[in-house]
Structure 1
Amino acid sequence: MGCVKLIFFMLYTFLFQLVLSSSLPHLCPEDQALSLLEFKHMFIINPNASHHCYNMITYQEIQSYPRTLLWNKSTDCCSWDGVHCDEMTGQVIELDLSCSQLQGKFHSNTSLFQLSNLKRLDLSYNNFSESLISPNFGEFSSLTHLDLSYSSFTGLIPSEISHLSKLHVLHMGDQYGLSLGPYNFELLLKNLTQLRELNLYSVNISSTIPLNFSSYLTNLYLRYTELRGVLPERVFHLSDLESLDLSRNPQLTVRFPTTKWNSSASLMKLFLYRVNITGRIPESFSHLTSLHELNMRYCNLSGPIPKPLWNSRDLYLGDNSFDGRLEFLSFNISWRQLYSLDFSFNSLTGPIPSDVSGLQNLQSLYLSSNHLNGTIPSWIFSLPSLNTLQLSDNHFSGKIQEFKCKTLFEVDLRQNQLQGPLPNSLLNQPNLKFLDLSHNNISGQIASTICNLKTLTALDLASNNLEGTIPQCLVEMNENLSDLDLSNNSFSGTINTNFSIGNYLTVISLNGNKLTGKVPPSLINCKYLTLLDLGNNQLNDTFPNWLGDLPDLKILSLRSNKLHGPIKSSGNTNLFPQLQIMDLSSNGFSGNLPESLLGNLQAMKKIDESTRTPQYVSGKFAAEYDYLTTITTKGQVYNYVRILASNMIIDLSKNRFEGHIPSIIGDLVGLRTLNLSHNVLEGHIPASLQNLSVLESVDLSSNKISGGIPPQLASLTFLEVLNLSHNHLVGCIPKGKQFDTFDNSSYQGNDGLRGLPLSKHCGGDDQATTPADLDQEEEDSPMINWQAVLMGYGCGLVIGLSVIYIMLSTQYPAWFSRMVVKLEHRITTRMKKHKKRY
């Protein structure tokens, strides 16, 4: 009995001490506190070091704040923010410094590695200034959770990471050039047999996925990793797999199992955007009963859209080759869970069914770029939570109905045949940011209620039948507006808008209206302006030289107005520093070509190194919102086209410019199109044009340019179009290279030109004669006897006078008179040339 009491007493004492010890704070060892403080002092606190903090698993924002700011010696390190200690030993076992605004170099021998008992370490969303990942991370033998993602690490991920055999979670995704050699990837997956989550977003793996990897995987994120080969089918048979993201790996081939997958019941998220799948979606998808999010855009999929996908909450199947009609929308009963539906950029046909129900939760509908027709059904306008509607580039007709919701964020209905006025409900959306109704038949005036769109960043109503004046309040009341395109309508009146200081406008296009008056001086307040297109109006003003003070202006079009007068020089040498397209054609500008302005065009003084993929000048709101304008190049007018970043164009045609062509144009080595036609320019073609090595189109037609065609222009190997017609050019047309491709139309109206392709031959003279060539010829020619020159001149004069006397006295016909005058002119000109040489 006493023995039992003794045992009970000892057990009671132990439990009491255990409870007491758990209720008291355990001081962490002093050396660990010092290690943490030393690690803290390696970095500065910078709020910009932790931006867009985001949990890739939960899709939730993470709060950014400086966790280490209040760390100090006077308190127990186990109470510090982000630090968690073992309750028994006081050892630091968890350190969470995610989104802590840390900035600085992460040294390979940092004191952090002295915390040898760490089990969880999260350093994500900081800025470690492109530091290398230390091999010492591999010494944390107890680590189960390691997150180094989005913290600006760079270089090769060390193979020592594969020593962390207890890891359950490994996140190392970043955008700063992390790489993982093929062997290291295989080693990583082979050794980390306990992995549940693996995220290597944007890490350059450049290999296949090995056959051997953890069977416990629940989340696998390998987006942007340069994977190749065939995805092992074993991935689809992982019994616990919940999320699979292999997007942006175009060299990776995915073949779905044709029978039921082991992961069918657990898989909730499947992202295979821009992965090579090809063919039809198999019926095995019908077993994915838990699938909520599916993204298989750009996957070369074809055939009809299969029914097994209707359990999804977010369904993205755009940019494939699906065909058929949308009739399935009207009878599916699972739509009530659908939030996002994307069938854009396919080949779907027919009208949208009008008897659809059950889509009350739908927030985003993408059906752009198909072959859909008919009217837009009323159920779409009645969706209570709709925020994104994209139906552009189809064949819809009829009116835009009134929206019942107040939740719209983006509406894109461009390139249809929609008509009628702008609905009032669309102009009273409190959160609308993007509105594009361009290229329709919308008519009427813009109501002043459009000024209620305080959040609007992009407004495109181009190519409609709108009329009246442009509401003055449109940009005055909106501090967010970035892109404004009202081109190709019938707006009239003056541009009386006051562009306020501090606005964010980058695009203003009012081309193709009936606007009058002057270029508004308040445009100088648009400091972010990149494109200004006021062409094809009736503006009556002198050249707005002050626009050159806009630092970001790249595209300026004032074509086809009533602008007039000389373009005056300015003492400011920094005007138009970024300008790459200047179109002042079809106005009434006069005087000499603006030599000082041309000399300021710094952006044209360098050649754009084009990539294999064409780059377009785009808006700031969205990458797909490319700048559009009208340009003339290669003898053709292109309306409403996207602007290549490499486009460098000067068009001063159809004005009254006079004088010579300044040789300073030869400094604009990035120039691709030069059009000075239909002016009254004189003098010679400057040989400096040979410096324009990427020049593709030159039009100097309908001027009074004289002299020869510089043979140096034959070196312009990119030249596709040359128009020198209707000038006073003489001599031989250069031969070789591009000059062998131009036809008669390039030279017609120059009676003094000869050589191919003209019918007048050059004989043995293969090149045209330029002033420079004449000087060289004079230096090389042998001395001519002055007596012979004078005798020839005298004889010619005597003969000429005699012929004139005979003609007058005998009344010879007029044709004979003209012939004699021409003969005398040739002789006199020849003698003068000989006299000049001496």
Structure 2
Amino acid sequence: MGRSTWKYQVFFLFCLILHSQLPFPSSLSSSLSSMPPCSALLHFSKSFSLDKSASAYDPSYPKTASWQEDKHCCTWDGVECDKNKSHVVGLDLTSSWLMGHFHSNSTLFFLPNLRRLNLADNNFNFSRIPSEIGNFKSLTHLNLSNSVFSGQIPFEISQLSSLVSLALSWNELLIETPVWKRVIGNLTQLRELILDRTNMSSIRPNSLMNLSSSLTTLSLRYCDLRGKLENNILFLPSIQTLDLSDNSFNGLLPSSLFNLPNLSTLDLGYNQLVGPLPSHVSGLNLSVLSSSSNFLNGTLPSWLFSMPSLETLYLYSNQFVDEIGEFKYNSLKNLDLGYNKLHGSIPRSVSRLVNLTSLSLSSNNLSIMLGSEMFSKLKNLETLDLSNNLVSINDNAIYALPNLQYLDLAYSNISEFPIFLRLTTNLRYLSLSNNQIYGQVPRWLGDVGMNSLYYVDLHDNLLQGPFPSLDFSSLHFIFFSKNNLTGEIPSLICDAIHLEVLDLSHNNLSDMIPKCLVNSTALSVLALQMNSLHGTIPTTFVKGNNIRSINLYGNQLEGPLPQSLANCTYLEVLDLGNNKINGAFPYWLGSLQKLQVLVLRSNRFQGCIGNPMTKFPFPNLRIIDISNNQFNGSLPITYFEYLKAMMNVDVSELYMGDNYYQDSLNIMINGHYIELEKVQNIFTIIDFSNNSFSGEMPKTIGRLKLLIGLNFSYNNLIGYIPSSIGNLDELEWLDLSFNKLSGEIPSQLADLTTLEVLKLSHNQLTGHIPSGNQFNTFNNDSYTENLGLCGFPLSRTCDNHEAKQPPPPTLQQDENLEHENGFGWQAVSIGYACGTIFGTFVGYLMFKIGKPKCLVRMVKLEQHIMLRRLKKNGHKRGGRR
């Protein structure tokens, strides 16, 4: 009896807990079933908070904020009633700032006469779509797009047999095959089906054949659909808009898609389709055709240029060949044929395209005369991208493109500025990089854009003379690197209050760095490397700045580092190499949590590197180069213990930088200094060479398992090479030459199969050189001036040379080893005690109740986790190689 009562008490407590999670008391549920529509709506609105961030699209505003109880709900914003105002038949709360969980017992479901429901562009906090949605038997339009729903789409949606439009796109939803079959089988009235970014990976493409023949719009973009699109996969005589882009469709492009009689928009972009476009079509009258980023080939058929209603043609990133055909109509507004294998000239019929706003022919092999009559008629042109072609400029053609905002002529073999730019007043983006433009930047370029120029890129040209006096007030991005500009950075640069990226590297600029540059809160990248700048680094880096990268390498800067650099909390790259900067090691930079690269090479820093002043210094540091300075004392062992980015793989991006700027560095790779224009995040390098460090190498160096390069050469290090270096599975170069190291070369180093460069010369090493793997590839230079070494590749054999073994560890070394491994005798004692207690408890369970299932599951789970970790680590190491 007591045991039964106990069970009822537990059951009652469980019900009480479940009851407390409901948004309104269960005692009211019966009255809510007959709740008036206005009360139900008001209760629904109060179950959410209003937050502007919940809606991403404009215009957005909180419609429910104006709802008032003293007014009939039929007058409320977003509410639609029938003629008698007795039933709510429509609710449109799109972009209404609704934030919160969507409960299954929401009062919204007490509006059974709803015909149209639009809750798009809100934030329902990854709620599941309630199965009660199936109660809206009269619903014809349902839109839950972009509202942060998640989980499986409930099969009850297939019960809404009156649905004409269903939009569930851009959530975190999954639709399984059984639900999909019921949806396409039961919703026979559907005219619009929009499921973009819904996980449909389990759906077979041939199931599309069963879609309702009444569909006019089908959008399945980014749904992870995969497989071949069979030639007769779709029979949709009424379809007008068909979007199957951003999936994994492969195989031949189905020609039957071009026979759909009412098709107006067709988007097959970003798949893996192959083959040519149909050579002939009949009755097709497209307004939009996009099949970009596939593997289509062959020539461009003539019908592409003969459709009177075609407004958008996107075929970039394919393998089309031959010439561009003649345009017969002028309806085209957007044309992108970039990244193909087209050749020849642009047809003169381009001049007919007077409605053209965007023209991109980049990365082909076209011959283009810029300034010819055909371009002068394109007065509506806003975007012109002719980059990576053979472009020539007609000096005598002066005309205006009054609406031009984007011009890209990079990699086009031009040697002068396009003179038509003088009459271009709305330009925002200008790229003339990687050409052969010679001479000074013309003064009239400063007038281009009339305060609208946002982005200017002239890097990799032959420009000379002073830095141009532009109107900097609207500029956000300036790229003038790799030219021959001279003189100072003009003070007008201080007018660029919106400047985000300034790259003037690889020029001959002199004088000092303007102080205003480090006073900005907008600046993200300051790249002034390889110039002749002198003076000190400005000392006023303001708090709240957004600087991500500072590269001042290869100048003549002097003085100490300003401690205000600690205000750069977003700093990832700091390269100050090859200057004349002095002072002690900047330990205060250790507080910068995002810092990945610290290069202080070839300066005049001096002194010991003491203990860190912060608890976890440099947690994200991947590259540290302090070589060629005057540091002394012991190696900073404590710092090595916290370089977590060199211990664990946590790389989200392949390269350092962002969409606008890729960080470049001059770093040592395999013993040679190389300038990398893009730096991979997997580079993990330590270079302390050419200093006066003394003492022993730390054993903790073996924890930095992601190290690719380690250089301690040209110091005064003593003692043995730590065998823990054998744990550095990714190590590609190791340079310990010109020290006073003794003892044997650890045999564990022979396990480093990635090691390409080994330099151990000019030490006091003894014993047999390890053999096998990479050690069979190293020559004498790796070991010279170590009189005690013997074995291959040296001519000295080991017959009469006794290997010198390291002495047994002292008590102090034992304690250090315990500290490194994380276990001391205290921890072991505690472990034995806890193990005894736990073992006794488990033994009691085994004896009393047999083998407990929970314990078995626990052990199996631990085994599963360990197996996954082993596979994951193996995969990452394999991928890295």
Q: What's the TM-score once normalised by structure 2's chain length?
A: 0.76
Q: Classify the secondary structure of the residue corresponding to 1:301.
A: strand
Matched, 1:589 2:631: yes
Within a 5 Å distance, the mapping from 1:11-30 to structure 2 comes to none
Quick one: distance in 2 between partners of 1:695 and 1:248?
38
Offset of residue 593 of structure 1: 1.1
**Residue 514 of structure 2: aligned partner:** 471
Quick one: distance in 2 between partners of 1:360 and 1:317?
24
Q: Which amino acid aligns with 2:623?
A: I
Which one of the candidate residues 297, 303, 308 is aligned to 1:284? 303
Q: Classify the secondary structure of the residue corresponding to 1:563.
A: strand
Offset of residue 305 of structure 1: 4.8
Which one of the candidate residues 754, 758, 761 is aligned to 1:725? 761
Offset of residue 135 of structure 1: 5.5
**Superposed CA offset, 1:316-350 (max 9, x none):** 34333421211276232652222112344x4x124
- The structure-2 alpha-carbon separation of the partners of 1:651 and 1:558, relative to structure 1 and needing over 3 Å to count, comes to same
Which one of the candidate residues 681, 687, 704 is aligned to 1:651? 687
Within a 5 Å distance, the mapping from 1:230-629 to structure 2 comes to 230-238=252-260, 241-249=263-271, 251-253=272-274, 255-259=276-280, 262-264=283-285, 266-267=286-287, 269-308=288-327, 312-321=332-341, 322-327=364-369, 330-332=372-374, 334-344=377-387, 346=388, 348-354=389-395, 355=397, 357=399, 359-368=401-410, 370-401=411-442, 402-403=444-445, 404-406=448-450, 407-425=452-470, 428-476=471-519, 478-608=520-650, 615-619=654-658, 623-629=659-665
Which one of the candidate residues 74, 80, 86 is aligned to 1:78? 74
Quick one: distance in 1 between partners of 2:162 and 2:424?
49
Quick one: distance in 2 between partners of 1:413 and 1:168?
54
Offset of residue 141 of structure 1: 5.5
Matched, 1:32 2:67: no
Structure number, greater radius of gyration: 1
Quick one: distance in 1 between partners of 2:140 and 2:501?
47
**Residue 685 of structure 1: aligned partner:** 721
Quick one: distance in 2 between partners of 1:514 and 1:254?
58
Quick one: distance in 2 between partners of 1:585 and 1:270?
57
Quick one: distance in 2 between partners of 1:132 and 1:329?
58
**Superposed CA offset, 1:544-564 (max 9, x none):** 111111121111111111111
Quick one: distance in 1 between partners of 2:636 and 2:549?
26
Q: Which amino acid aligns with 1:684?
A: Y
Q: Which amino acid aligns with 2:378?
A: W
**Residue 171 of structure 1: aligned partner:** 167
Offset of residue 188 of structure 1: 6.5
Q: Classify the secondary structure of the residue corresponding to 2:415.
A: strand
Q: Which amino acid aligns with 2:295?
A: N
**Superposed CA offset, 1:494-544 (max 9, x none):** 112411111111111111111111112211111111111111111122211
Q: Classify the secondary structure of the residue corresponding to 2:91.
A: strand
**Residue 782 of structure 1: aligned partner:** none
Contact 1:720/1:738, CA 8 A, preserved across alignment: yes
Unaligned runs of 5+ in 1: 1-28, 54-61, 776-838
**Residue 52 of structure 2: aligned partner:** 47
- The structure-2 alpha-carbon separation of the partners of 1:568 and 1:220, relative to structure 1 and needing over 3 Å to count, comes to same
Offset of residue 231 of structure 1: 4.3
Contact 1:156/1:179, CA 8 A, preserved across alignment: no
Q: Which amino acid aligns with 2:753?
A: T
**Superposed CA offset, 1:690-711 (max 9, x none):** 2222222211111111111011
Offset of residue 270 of structure 1: 3.8
**Residue 711 of structure 1: aligned partner:** 747
Q: Classify the secondary structure of the residue corresponding to 1:642.
A: coil
Matched, 1:771 2:806: yes
Quick one: distance in 2 between partners of 1:627 and 1:277?
35
Which one of the candidate residues 706, 724, 728 is aligned to 1:670? 706
**Superposed CA offset, 1:427-469 (max 9, x none):** x243221111212222222110011111111111111222221
Contact 1:155/1:179, CA 8 A, preserved across alignment: no
Q: CA RMSD in A?
A: 3.1
Question: What is the percent sequence identity of the aligned residues?
Answer: 39
Q: What's the TM-score once normalised by structure 1's chain length?
A: 0.79
Q: Which amino acid aligns with 2:749?
A: L
Quick one: distance in 2 between partners of 1:359 and 1:770?
80
Contact 1:314/1:339, CA 8 A, preserved across alignment: no
Q: Classify the secondary structure of the residue corresponding to 1:705.
A: strand
The more displaced of 79-88 and 100-109 is 100-109
Q: Classify the secondary structure of the residue corresponding to 1:731.
A: strand
- The structure-2 alpha-carbon separation of the partners of 1:380 and 1:358, relative to structure 1 and needing over 3 Å to count, comes to closer
Contact 1:196/1:217, CA 8 A, preserved across alignment: yes
Quick one: distance in 2 between partners of 1:151 and 1:628?
40
**Residue 751 of structure 1: aligned partner:** 787
Quick one: distance in 2 between partners of 1:110 and 1:699?
68
Unaligned runs of 5+ in 2: 1-33, 174-197, 342-363, 811-881
Quick one: distance in 1 between partners of 2:799 and 2:171?
65
**Superposed CA offset, 1:658-707 (max 9, x none):** 11111121222222211111112111101121222222221111111111
Contact 1:316/1:341, CA 8 A, preserved across alignment: no
Quick one: distance in 1 between partners of 2:424 and 2:777?
60
Q: Classify the secondary structure of the residue corresponding to 1:761.
A: coil
- The structure-2 alpha-carbon separation of the partners of 1:184 and 1:642, relative to structure 1 and needing over 3 Å to count, comes to closer
Contact 2:275/2:298, CA 8 A, preserved across alignment: no
**Residue 696 of structure 2: aligned partner:** 660
Quick one: distance in 2 between partners of 1:252 and 1:104?
42
Q: Which amino acid aligns with 1:413?
A: L
Q: Which amino acid aligns with 1:272?
A: S
Quick one: distance in 2 between partners of 1:304 and 1:328?
18
Within a 5 Å distance, the mapping from 1:794-813 to structure 2 comes to none
Q: Classify the secondary structure of the residue corresponding to 1:40.
A: helix
**Residue 824 of structure 1: aligned partner:** none
Quick one: distance in 2 between partners of 1:528 and 1:381?
39
Quick one: distance in 1 between partners of 2:432 and 2:612?
49
- The structure-2 alpha-carbon separation of the partners of 1:184 and 1:526, relative to structure 1 and needing over 3 Å to count, comes to same
**Superposed CA offset, 1:395-427 (max 9, x none):** 3334333333221111122223233333223xx
- The structure-2 alpha-carbon separation of the partners of 1:339 and 1:646, relative to structure 1 and needing over 3 Å to count, comes to same
Contact 1:167/1:192, CA 8 A, preserved across alignment: no
Q: Classify the secondary structure of the residue corresponding to 2:781.
A: helix
Q: Classify the secondary structure of the residue corresponding to 1:681.
A: strand
